[in-house]
């Protein structure tokens, strides 16, 4: 996994734990909820009944997803028409980056623009066995044109607000519905990237607070 850049954030959750927490404070990290619960009055070390506490003073923090992450995930695997796919690519061009084995952002934009003018005709699909790129051939009564569909393009977006950006490969696929092409993309290793981003936040919380961080819920 590749992180890009380093965007620092002031986390009120950390500040709260530092202000009101103590030596017995325990923080719980939930990978399912992608959030943290700090029990400031947790049981101290030892098993004596006299040391048992109520564990009612708590602070919670749910890692907020970045708008870019929500947008790309919402369209992950969703079939789009030529026009819809072109509009989406153009609107998110600032998220795209150059990467080895992936189409350059401007090449993806050019492909998207070409697709918007080819709404009628007969389509056939060809695959380049060397590069994995696809070729969409459009045949009409007057001419024949073709558009190279890249195997993948790359984006660099944060998973959480104020977090570091991750370089992600978006793999392009297309098929046909009623004779018209439908385009989709799949975010490669999406869940793994999300878990890595959460673990990065977990290490940051643990380092900044100096408190014990356990996996799970209290």
- SS3 of the chain: the string is CCEECCCCCCCHHHHHHHHHCCCCCEEEEECCCCEEEEECCCCCCCCCHHHCCCCCCEEEEECCECHHHHHHHHCCCCCECHHHHHHHHHHCHHHEECCCCCECHHHHHHHHHHHHCCCCCEEEEEECCCCCCEEEEEECCCCEEEEEECCEEEEEEECECCCCEEEEEEEEEEEEECCEEEEEEEECCHHHHHHHHHHHHHHHHHHHHCCEEEECCC
Q: What is the mean pLDDT of the chain?
A: 82
Given a cut of 70, is residue 121 above it in pLDDT? no
| pLDDT-based confidence at residue 206 (cuts at 50, 70, 90) | very high
The CA distance from 23 to 214, in Å, is: 15
The answer to whether 123 and 179 have CB atoms below 8 angstroms apart is: yes
Cα 47 to chain centroid distance, Å, stands at 43
pLDDT at 177: 78
Token pair belonging to 82: 């030529």
Residues pairing with 157 in the sheet? 166
pLDDT at 46: 67
Count of residues making up the chain: 218
Given a cut of 60, is residue 5 above it in pLDDT? no
| pLDDT-based confidence at residue 149 (cuts at 50, 70, 90) | confident
Over residues 71-96, the mean pLDDT reads 93
pLDDT at 207: 94
Token pair belonging to 193: 């990237």
The CA distance from 192 to 114, in Å, is: 34
Handedness of CA 108, 114, 119, 122 (dihedral sign): negative
Over residues 32-45, the mean pLDDT reads 88
Global pTM reads 0.79
pLDDT at 119: 47
The CA distance from 218 to 213, in Å, is: 11
The CA distance from 18 to 6, in Å, is: 23
């Amino acid at each position: 996994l590749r992180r890009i850049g380093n965007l620092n954030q002031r986390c009120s959750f950390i500040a709260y734990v530092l202000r009101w927490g103590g030596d017995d404070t325990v923080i719980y990290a939930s990978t399912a909820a992608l959030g943290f619960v700090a029990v400031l009055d947790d049981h101290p070390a030892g098993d004596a009944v006299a040391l048992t506490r109520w564990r009612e003073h708590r602070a919670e923090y749910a890692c907020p997803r970045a708008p870019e992450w929500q947008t790309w995930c919402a369209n992950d695997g969703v079939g789009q028409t030529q026009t819809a796919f072109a509009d989406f690519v153009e609107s998110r061009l600032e998220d795209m980056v150059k990467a080895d084995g992936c189409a350059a952002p401007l090449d993806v934009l050019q492909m998207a623009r070409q697709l918007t003018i080819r709404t009628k005709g007969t389509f056939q699909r060809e695959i380049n066995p060397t590069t994995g790129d696809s070729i969409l051939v459009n045949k009409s009564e007057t001419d024949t044109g073709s558009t190279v569909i890249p195997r993948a393009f790359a984006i660099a977006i944060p998973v959480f607000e104020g977090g570091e950006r991750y370089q992600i490969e978006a793999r392009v696929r297309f098929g046909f519905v009623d004779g018209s092409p439908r385009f989709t993309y799949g975010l490669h290793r999406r869940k793994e990237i999300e878990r890595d981003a959460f673990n990065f936040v977990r290490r940051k919380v643990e380092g900044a607070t100096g408190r014990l961080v356990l996996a799970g819920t209290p």
